[in-house]
Structure 1
């Protein structure tokens, strides 16, 4: 896997367009791995990172193959050299994480996804996803070591109107339970909305 960091230039018309539409952002970023995507060898994940004040927008991108950021139009972003990412996960390893995701469930009557409302519901969703993906959300004193840093809704144009997709930024501490399964989770991402910049799980010591 490869991790790339892009510092976007707000003077670019394309950047402003992409920031207004996650689908457009996904389409733009996909140019860097277009051939691998066509061959079915790629799973592109990305996340718009939280920034402060007047700091330029930063996008973190994870790819399975080495991206070619020369595919972006000139002036779109300052691109930091992609870094290889091959984590040697171990059972019992404790790591910090960041995940922007869409904690949701399917409505029984309509089949569409509906947002989870309470903090407790969102943490239960996260616990379940981690368990399925080879991780465990760490607890201390009976409390999960996880915080919700952002809880917003993305407005997505669809069929002539706007739909809202919940985007929650989780940060906290997890434990590796099954290293092989955990690695696959890192590659695949967590939850729905991958093309909206959701699902990228980042780990740090």
Structure 2
């Protein structure tokens, strides 16, 4: 597996066009691979995620362009030269492609990692069916619903989210609904961006509810976590959802 990081220049027309439509960005990502490169049976799918710079009130602006980053996870190395030429930085560090095999093989229970993921949290409504007679797929829209959607899946994904007390550092002063102190009991998962993506796909229009999270996890089942890293999480994988990335916390 390969993980590719591409810095996009938000001041270039090509970058603006890519970031305006997830359908256009999906096509650009898939054009990184030659015909037949992704046709092996059982091969993991291509995942991608677009990270936009977080806006922190009162923070000192960073020098240089905002850090709009496109991540691509793929079973074969991509050739994203067309993206770099039209929307990126043709300089050292503008693009990095890394073979993740050693990292994935080295995952083990008890390791702690910072994580980031963008998901499309959905649920099926048993009382509503679509034109094909199937249960309607609806989107979770509140911060609490979307966070719980992630927490409901972490066990099967092979990790657990740490609490402030487990991770250490300064603990927030917290109280439960009964007024009892529960300092450090909060889970280290934060919603950093939420939004709605709308775009055309052929003659139809697609609407996705997106939620991006950051946090700190502890590995409980390395095989399950490897599967989640390679195959993604939830719906909307073709359009920038489901990719989870790990880094030192």
TM-score per shorter chain, which class? 0.7 to 0.9
Superposition TM-score, scaled by structure 1 size:
0.87
Cα RMSD, aligned residues only: 2.4
Is 1:43 the counterpart of 2:86? The answer is no
* Aligned equivalents of 2:240, 2:22: Cα separation in 1: 7
Identify which range, 93-102 or 78-87, moves more after superposition.
78-87
Structure 1 residue aligned with 2:226: 183
Runs of 4+ aligned structure 1 residues displaced above 4 Å come to 9-14, 158-161
Q: Output aligned runs, 1:131-142, within 5 Å.
A: 131-140=155-164, 141-142=184-185
Q: Distance in 1 between matches of 2:136 and 2:151?
A: 22
Alignment of 1:38-187 (within 5 A): 38-40=39-41, 41-51=43-53, 55=66, 57-70=68-81, 72=83, 74-78=85-89, 79-86=94-101, 87=103, 88-108=106-126, 109-110=128-129, 111-140=135-164, 141-158=184-201, 160=203, 162-187=205-230
Superposition deviation, residue 195 in structure 1: 1.1
Structure 1 residue runs without a partner (length 5+): none
Q: Give the secondary structure class of the aligned counterpart of 1:126.
A: helix
Number of residues paired by the alignment? 205
Q: Secondary structure at the match of 2:155?
A: helix
> 1:73-98, CA deviations, whole angstroms, 9 ceiling, x for partnerless residues?
84342351311223211101111100
Q: Name the structure with the higher helix share.
A: 1
| Contact 2:139/2:209 (8 A) holds in 1 | yes
Q: Which has the higher Rg, Structure 1 or Structure 2?
A: 2
Unaligned runs of 5+ in 2: 56-64, 130-134, 165-183
Between Structure 1 and Structure 2, which shows a larger proportion of strand residues? 1
TM-score normalised per structure 2: 0.73
